[in-house]
Amino acid sequence: MTQTISRTQDLIAKETKYDSGVYNKHSIVLERGLGAKVWDTEGREYIDCVVGISVANLGHSHPEIVKAIQDQAAKLMVCPQTYPNDQRAEFYNELMSVVPQHLTRVFPCNSGAEAMEAALKFARVATGREKFVAMKRGFSGRTMGALSLTYEPKYREPFGGLIHETSFVAFNDLEQLEAAIDDQTAAVIIEPVQGEGGVRPATPEFLRAARALCSKHGALLIFDEIQSGFCRTGKWWGHQHACEPDCTSTCVFPGGCAVKPDIMTLAKAIGSGIPLGAMVMTAEVADKMPKGGHGTTFGGNPLAMAAGVATIRYMKKHDMAAQCAELGAYFVEQLSKIESKKIKEIL
């Protein structure tokens, strides 16, 4: 008797046959998404709490983003950075309107790990130093450089000697931070809210101490806002929660902020699903990189730039930071009313 296999089983078999095998796969096939929902090949509907691993902050296939991508795909998809491009120009200006005002330069790339790689190269060349300080339970990506700053031994140990000499300090531990930073430190890397490490926010005191210690020792402060950025925490950037109380939200970092980073790395939600990363930095850092010192074929391509422009404009226009803050507070309030052993902690 011949057994018929379903379309779902067929697709899973086809994918797993040639897959690298590095991921544990679920046994459903997702084929469509809209807003907060996704659908599988059996027509089942799910609320997507994973959001593409913190990517679909505006929901799946948001019509305004889809239109921007469709229009740009028909116009121009690739344009090396040696040629200025209209979408790249727009993207830089939109991005600069939402990042701290002292960060005036951007290197566009294609992912979070690439943004981290760029940050590490710029930090090395800007300081002439090679040592880094990163956080226990921190996650910076899987490429060899970014991996050197990723704490979990299971991610690092199979790959032997890594690229950077990194000291790991306990997150939010001021004493350990002070002991780890010295005059050989190129940069300190902090996720303002640790993502993979368990959704753990840095304390304002810790971020302020990191800034002060970096300034004292001539090291750079890098905020990895790849997961905590783009309105996800109720502010544009996770580290804004450590802003001085008189810092107004209508003006992103009006100056006098005690936690100014030298570099910020961005990715995930920045392109609403199109691969896009960016590393923003001060002019002092950017100016130390020699011409041709870094580069990327796809980074800054018009298609991704158009997705980035549409995403930032939408977030600005609809004040997504305020929306997230409001919905987040509602969510916490409602969760707090549920008595269940399954709820361990509400942040």
Ligand X SMILES: Cc1ncc(COP(=O)(O)O)c(C=O)c1O
Residue 109: which region, alpha, beta or left (left: phi > 0; alpha: psi -120 to 50)? beta
**Residue placing its CB nearer to ligand X in the complex, 94 or 224:** 224
What is the token pair recorded at 224? 């990895």
Binding mask 132-171 for ligand X (x = CB under 6 A): -------xxx------------------------------
**Residue placing its CB nearer to ligand X in the complex, 141 or 302:** 141
If one asks whether residue 195 binds ligand X (CB under 6 A), the answer comes out as: yes
If one asks whether residue 117 binds ligand X (CB under 6 A), the answer comes out as: no
Stretch that binds ligand X, among 18-26, 168-176, 189-197, 243-251 (CB under 6 A): 189-197
Minimum CB–partner distance for residue 196 and ligand X (Å): 6
CB-based contact 122:279 (threshold 8 Å): yes
DSSP 2: P
If one asks whether residue 311 binds ligand X (CB under 6 A), the answer comes out as: no
CB-based contact 131:167 (threshold 8 Å): yes
- Tell me how far CA of residue 174 lies from CA of 138, 161, 196, in angstroms: 16, 28, 21
Virtual torsion, Cα 169, 242, 194, 88, nearest 10 deg: -120
**Residue placing its CB nearer to ligand X in the complex, 111 or 311:** 111
Distance CA 31, CA 53 (A): 17
Binding residues for ligand X, rule CB under 6 A, total: 15
If one asks whether residue 112 binds ligand X (CB under 6 A), the answer comes out as: yes
Binding mask 17-56 for ligand X (x = CB under 6 A): ------------------------------------x---
For ligand X, the binding residues in 214-233 under the rule CB under 6 A are 224, 226-227
Rg of the Cα atoms in the chain? 21
Q: Fill in the amino acid letter for 291.
A: K
Q: Which residue is nearest to ligand X (CB)?
A: 112
User: At a CB cut-off of 8 Å and minimum separation 6, what does 87 contact?
Assistant: 72, 76, 302, 305, 306, 309
**Residue placing its CB nearer to ligand X in the complex, 133 or 226:** 226
If one asks whether residue 282 binds ligand X (CB under 6 A), the answer comes out as: no
Sheet holding 30-34, edge to edge: 30-34, 37-40, 45-47
If one asks whether residue 273 binds ligand X (CB under 6 A), the answer comes out as: no
Stretch that binds ligand X, among 98-106, 191-199, 210-218, 315-323 (CB under 6 A): 191-199
DSSP string, 89-120: HHHHHHHHTTS-TT--EEEEESSHHHHHHHHH
If one asks whether residue 267 binds ligand X (CB under 6 A), the answer comes out as: yes
Among 196, 203, 249, 288, binds ligand X (CB under 6 A): 196
**Residue placing its CB nearer to ligand X in the complex, 8 or 143:** 143
Minimum CB–partner distance for residue 183 and ligand X (Å): 27
CB-based contact 328:234 (threshold 8 Å): yes
Interface with ligand X by CB under 6 A: which residues?
Answer: 53, 111-113, 116, 139-141, 191, 195-196, 224, 226-227, 267
